[in-house]
Structure 1
Amino acid sequence: MMILMASDCELIVLIADSAYTSIYCKDSKVLRELYDNMESLKVDKLAYITDENDFRHTVKVR
């Protein structure tokens, strides 16, 4: 998400319906650790979000 890279924010966690989670993180080491942890927990449908497959262009917080 391009807006994350341009901001001071380091991590965004989005959870919908307590089952769908997206994590955006600037630090690739932290992101890899999160991914490895989720993989060890056998999380279904685990995938990296990239600029090519991300349908979100902005995040608005209310």
Structure 2
Amino acid sequence: MPPPPRTYPALAARLLALPPSCGPARLVAIDGPSGAGKSTFADHLAAVLVGAPVVRSDDFRVP
């Protein structure tokens, strides 16, 4: 297995090389504890993946 990418462009290239995972789209989930930097990481990755939306869990309504 190759080593994990260390830059956002390298990660983006690796993700784009994978087949779509959710119909015609690729779904990337970022997990971690509160305050770990998930939102910052997602924003940086989305900036490299031009046009990729970021959907935060705060955007989901929990009944």
Which band: TM-score by shorter chain? 0.3 to 0.5
More helix by share: 2
Q: So what's the TM-score if we normalise by structure 2?
A: 0.38
Q: Give the greater-gyration-radius structure (CA).
A: 2
Relative contact order higher in (CA < 8 Å, ≥ 6 apart): 1
